[in-house]
Amino acid sequence: MLKSIVASVLVFVGLAHSETPPGFTPEAVAHLDVIFGTKAVSPPGTSLTKADTQKQPTIGTSDTILNGTYPWLMMDLDVPASFTNPSAGPRRTNLHAMITGFKSTGQKTETGINTLTSTATGPVKYVGPAPPAETPPHAHRYVELLFETNATFTVPQSYVQQTLGFDLQAFVQKAGLAPPVRGNWFNVTG
């Protein structure tokens, strides 16, 4: 009885604190701190500008130190089918970064974030958001995810070569990844 109450409370808390956009799968329920210069992506879904987000952000965690090695990715969910005629078809994804080898730096920022860093810059180098202007304006959602991996993990290259239309579900399945350990997201409007 107590167990099932605890379980339902946990499920409730998990749903109430999703760190990925509504309906997004695989969902992340634990917060990844993402800081662009002095601007923290907090709460998840915060609006930022193109200028804010052109440099790769600092990432980390406030609640604990992560002791593993993690790939991190960022993707746009809202690329229009056609820049001249956005309603020509369904919106697509674009992979803006896929960087492996993130590890704890052992350091904290002034605001108490245990930072993660990587010496890698790929396999997909960070590209800042550049959503096109649309009428009416359309906010693009940019999702950041951190995955748990083991020593045998390698990025299935063929899944990240073409960044436009990046298929996260297929990638996760091919790489044998569990749901992301951390996530966050923000909006930029062109």
Ligand X SMILES: *[C@@H]1O[C@H](CO)[C@@H](O)[C@H](O)[C@H]1NC(C)=O
Which residue is closest to ligand X by CB? Answer: 176
Interaction between residue 152 and ligand X (CB under 6 A): yes
Interaction between residue 59 and ligand X (CB under 6 A): no
Distance CA 29, CA 180 (A): 8
Query: What is the smallest separation between the CB atom of 66 and ligand X, expressed in angstroms?
Result: 5
CB closer to ligand X out of 21 and 68: 68
Residue 190 gets which letter from DSSP?
-
- Reference 75, options 52, 59, 99; nearest CA is 99
CA distances from 68 to 63, 146, 147 (A): 15, 11, 10
Stretch of residues binding ligand X (CB under 6 A), selected from 24-32, 45-53, 64-72, 111-119: 64-72
Interaction between residue 25 and ligand X (CB under 6 A): no
Distance CA 10, CA 47 (A): 29
Interaction between residue 150 and ligand X (CB under 6 A): yes
CB closer to ligand X out of 108 and 125: 108
Distance CA 73, CA 138 (A): 22
> Tokens for 76?
């746009």
Interaction between residue 65 and ligand X (CB under 6 A): yes
Distance CA 100, CA 124 (A): 9
Binding residue for ligand X (CB under 6 A) from 4, 25, 38, 67?
A: 67
Query: What is the smallest separation between the CB atom of 109 and ligand X, expressed in angstroms?
Result: 18
Distance CA 83, CA 3 (A): 52
Number of residues near ligand X (by CB under 6 A):
7
Q: Which residues bind ligand X (CB under 6 A)?
A: 64-67, 150, 152, 176
